[in-house]
Chain A
Amino acid sequence: MFENLSKKLFGKSLWLYHCNTGACNGCDIEILNVLTPYYDVERFGMKLVASPRHADVMLLSGAVTRPTLPLVKKAYDALPNPKLVFGVGSCATGGGCWFDSYNVTGGAAGVVPVNYFIPGCPPRPEAIIYAVALALGLVDKQVAPVELKQMEFPIDVYERNKAWEERNTIYQLIQD
């Protein structure tokens, strides 16, 4: 009975382990900002823990650099199953400005399976809470791939040719 009760009460309370993999500290400050009284993420039962063995969720920030690569893999393996990985910031989602640099593996998705991506440089604290709410199923996803197509020619060719002729009458006058 106690087990059922605890499952019901703590079923959705995620414990977070914050892993900096070569970020500039912008995303890390925003993650700490989420825990302040204004954006109180503890109302979802969340808590930052120091050890990956206590955590359910890993918050990855930063493009995974070459020296941190084995450490990130180790930390990911230390998380008990089932586990979630959040990529916080543009660097973790796609590699940021350094996606093709020699010292960077190009985003966290190439190293560990990332479940939720939070783009932004750095993401607003609301955006991080939004991702958390998305993981809990409180809100719906707001983005989708966009494909745009020009259906007709943007500039009228005839008008343009006419303007060209008008502009060049001066040369004809000189010739005459």
Chain B
Amino acid sequence: MWLTSKIKQVLMVIKPGVVTLNYPFEKRPVPENFRGAPYWDHEKCIGCGGCANHCPARTILVRDICQEIRVMVYDGSRCTYCGRCADVCPENAITMTDRYELATDDRQDLNESMELFMLTCQRCGRCYDMENVNMIDRMDLQGYRYDNIEARAFIRKTTDRFDPEMLKKTAEYKRPSKIGE
């Protein structure tokens, strides 16, 4: 009979009770080893750019605006939260927090920018090669880097001496919309 089956259903449902999490008003602790938004400690950061070299989504951009000051920008809108930057950081300046409530109506809210003081090495300008593990990386990336921060573009051109012309050229960088442009 349909009525007995319905009563049976109701009894079955009573046993576990209400399982729904009343989410925005009551929160559940995140699981262990959960990787949420990364957190930068600008006091510990030495500006080696290892996180920028290893980021699979190229979210971290490095721009040397003059010889002593380096600007690093983290664009959280395309971050995949893989935690590679925190793994690779030699000073443990990056930690993965458990924040995941990152929904916004504006993409600029996810950005984080850092301004760092840099020393000039007396031999080679900049010598932070401990993060460039293979030989191709080491040849490819040298001390000074000129990523475009406004266009969020990762430019693979580096110099061993500070080059103001390159800085000017990369400031007007645009993503090519057609082939050969």
Q: Which residues of A contact B (CB under 8 A)?
A: 37-40, 43, 90-91, 93-97, 99-100, 107, 109, 115-121, 123-124, 126-131, 133-134, 138-139, 141-150, 153-155, 157
B124 beta carbon closer than 8 Å to chain A: no
Evaluate contact between B111 and A146: CB separation under 8 angstroms. Answer: yes
When the two chains form their complex, are residues B80 and A90 in contact, meaning their CB atoms are under 8 A apart? Answer: yes
* B106 surroundings in chain A (CB, below 8 A): 117
Closest 7 CB pairs of A and B: A94-B78, A94-B77, A131-B103, A148-B42, A121-B80, A133-B24, A146-B112
Contact of B81 among A40, A120, A139 (CB under 8 A): A120
Question: Is B89 part of the contact surface with A, judged by Cβ < 8 Å?
Answer: no
Given contacts A39-B21, A119-B79, contact A142 B102 (CB under 8 A): yes
Chain A residues whose C-beta falls within 8 Å of the C-beta of B66 in the assembled complex: none
Question: Contact between B104 and A40 (Cβ–Cβ < 8 Å)?
Answer: no
Measured between beta carbons, the chain B residues less than 8 angstroms from A119 are: 76-77, 79, 102-103, 110
- Taking the complex as formed, is B138 at the interface, i.e. its CB lies under 8 A from any CB of chain A? no
Task: Give the residues in chain B near A107, CB-CB below 8 Å.
Answer: 77-78
Asked if B165 CB lies within 8 Å of chain A CBs, one says no
CA distance A143 to B100 in the complex (A): 10
Contact of A97 among B56, B107, B110, B152 (CB under 8 A): B56
The bracket for how many chain B residues form the interface is 35 or more
Q: In the complex, what residues of B have CB within 8 A of residue A121's CB?
A: 79-82
The docked-state distance in angstroms from the alpha carbon of A144 to that of B109 is 4
Q: Which A residues touch B27, using CB under 8 A?
A: 126
Known: A94-B77, A120-B81. A141 touches B109 (CB 8 A): yes
Contacts A90-B78, A116-B104, A155-B119 known; A143 to B28 CB distance under 8 Å? no
Instruction: Given the known inter-chain contacts A94-B75, A148-B113, please indicate yes or no for A116 contacting B102, CB distance below 8 A.
Output: no
Majority-rule SS of B interface residues: loop
Question: Could you jot down 22 A-B contacts, CB within 8 Å?
Answer: A37-B19, A38-B19, A94-B77, A94-B79, A96-B80, A100-B153, A107-B77, A115-B105, A116-B103, A117-B106, A118-B103, A127-B101, A130-B101, A133-B24, A139-B24, A143-B37, A145-B110, A147-B115, A148-B42, A148-B113, A150-B116, A154-B43
Knowing A116-B104, A119-B77 are in contact, say whether A148-B23 is a contact too (CB < 8 A): no
Q: Given the complex of chains A and B, what is the CA–CA distance between A93 and B175 in angstroms?
A: 18
Q: Give, as a whole number of angstroms, the nearest-CB distance from B75 to chain A.
A: 7
B33 at the interface (CB under 8 A from A): no
Q: Tell whether, in the assembled complex, residue B108 and residue A126 are in contact, meaning their CB atoms are under 8 Å apart.
A: no
Using A117-B103, A127-B100, A153-B117 as known contacts, say yes or no to A145 and B111 having CB atoms under 8 A apart: yes
Q: How far is the CB of B110 from chain A (nearest CB, A)?
A: 6
Q: How far is the CB of B174 from chain A (nearest CB, A)?
A: 12
Given contacts A39-B21, A131-B103, 6 further A-B contacts (CB under 8 A): A90-B80, A100-B58, A120-B100, A127-B102, A128-B103, A146-B111
